[in-house]
Amino acid sequence: MSSLVSDRLQRRAAVPSLRRVRVRWWIFLYMFLFILFAFVQRNSLNVATDQIQSQLRVSQLQVFMLMWAYQVMYSLLQVPGGSLGQRCGARWTFVLIGALACLATVATPLAPIVLSGTAMIGAMVLAQAVLGTSQAPLFPVMTGVFESWFPSSRWGFVNGLSSSAMHVGTAVTAPLIVALTAALGWQRALLCTALPMAILTVCWARYGRDRPREHPSVSAEELEELDEGAEESTPPATLERVLCLIRDRNVALLALSYLCMNYVFFLLMTAPFLYLTQARHLSQVDGGWLAMLPPAGAALGAWVGGVLADRFCARLGVRWGLRLIPLISLPLSGVLLLVGVHTAGVYVAVACFVLAYALIEVNEGPFGAALMQIARADSMPGFGAINTGGNLGGVVCYPILGYLSGRGEWNMAFAIGVAFNLVAAALWLLVRADERFSPPQSHA
């Protein structure tokens, strides 16, 4: 009997040790996985392009239209997506994100089974447009989650670490989809990518909450660790308030700087494989393996940048603590781009691309933390604004890269990236992350 009582006491004593992990870190894990699975879903179509063309007898332009439909809707709905999250709360917004993403992911490979010709292409374009629509609120709403759940001293770290999830997702997609396609065919391979998102969405619906005080497992100690005012109610995302936020000087500067930096982001996300096979004349296999290294460097850079952002803010203050990182990393990334395309050694070039990509992603933490410092409770539509700028960087990059690489002028494509990096860094000299956004005064 005494041993039984002792066992029960030991079990009870063990419970607090299991709860030492703050609930906010479980919330962070959900955010990380939502991003990872989203990037697997959005990149799967790219990997299966050859099989889609051969089996459906469609042109490269038609496949490109599928990707274009995703990118357009994803870019246009950043601010509306963030506003939706602020109105409806993160819990149910992420449920909507997951449900629509699964629906679109399933519809894309099923369309050729029931349709043909123009109707089939139209249905697949619509499915990819829905996928872009569903994932548009992802990063803006995630930023608002971090603003509510984490103390400001950790904002740089969680923004940087969460950004690494997109690079992990990008890196694992190619080998995963290639293996699934070989075993099951491209349609079943794409269908398989819906299952992890569906499971994650159901689990989030049960576990997630909009704010820490609403979660039954959050302790008083964890609440006390948040900044003063963190538990205040979220302001309504009215049209007047959102437009005022977009016009805020510091938010506009961050969006413009993010646009310039993301030209290089999309350049390094897209170009290495083509550059290595076309300009360096490597085989498809060798180019494919080496092209996996830059995303790995980017993932590490995003994590390191988040750590540095928090430490620099603690020592130098918010303005210079966040400003110093892009002022150093972006010009240095530009130098590495030039070295990479002018060096004779292939492996030296790849190493330069890895480091340049890492130095680009070092800035994810500072950008996210700066926006949260400025917008605070309006972080969801605020990050939607700067992420609109970021995605416009891809809109700018793709036609320039397509035109110049098609003419073999790779040096010029990368040189333009250097110019964009320098402009992105210079704009940070004007950003004042310690100035809070002043919302319009409501009228009685």
Which residues does 208 contact at the CB level (< 8 Å), separation at least 6?
A: 27, 30, 90, 91, 94
Same domain, 285 and 391: yes
Q: Domain range holding 344?
A: 244-437
DSSP state of 439: P
CA dihedral 226, 229, 234, 235 (to 10 degrees): -150
For residues 193 and 123, membership in a common domain is answered with yes
pLDDT in tens, 230-286: 555 667 778 888 889 999 999 999 999 999 999 999 899 878 877 888 888 888 678
DSSP code string of 171-196: HHHHHHHHHHHHHH-HHHHHHHTHHH
**Banded model confidence at residue 443, pLDDT cuts 50, 70, 90:** very low
Name the residue with tokens 């999830």: 165
279 and 188, same structural domain? no
% of the chain residues with pLDDT over 70:
92
Q: Please check whether residues 155 and 206 belong to one and the same domain.
A: yes
Q: Express each pLDDT in 349-384 by its tens digit.
A: 999 999 999 999 999 999 999 999 999 888 899 999
What does pTM read for this prediction?
0.82
Q: Which one, of 321, 299, 350, 278, lies nearest residue 428 by Cα?
A: 321
Instruction: State how far Cα 88 lies from the chain centre.
Output: 21
Q: Is the confidence at residue 208, as pLDDT, over 90?
A: yes
Residue 2 located in a structural domain:
no
User: φ and ψ at 112, to 5 degrees?
Assistant: -65, -15
Per-residue b or e along 292-318, where b marks 16 or more CB atoms closer than 10 Å to that residue's CB: ebbbbbbbbbbbbbbebbbebbeeeeb
CATH code of the domain in which 341 resides:
1.20.1250.20
100-147: per-residue pLDDT in tens?
A: 999 999 999 999 998 888 898 899 989 999 999 999 999 999 999 999
Q: Are 46 and 177 in contact (CB under 8 A)?
A: no
Confidence of residue 229 (pLDDT cuts 50, 70, 90): low
pLDDT at site 155: 92
Q: Is residue 223 part of a domain?
A: no
Sequence length of the chain is: 444
Q: Is residue 346 within 8 Å of residue 276, measured between CB atoms?
A: yes
Most confident range (mean pLDDT) of 77-91, 169-183, 428-442 is 77-91
Averaged pLDDT score across all residues of the chain: 87
- End position of a domain, from candidates 166, 193, 214: 214
143 and 35 fall within a common domain: yes
Question: How many structural domains compose the chain?
Answer: 2
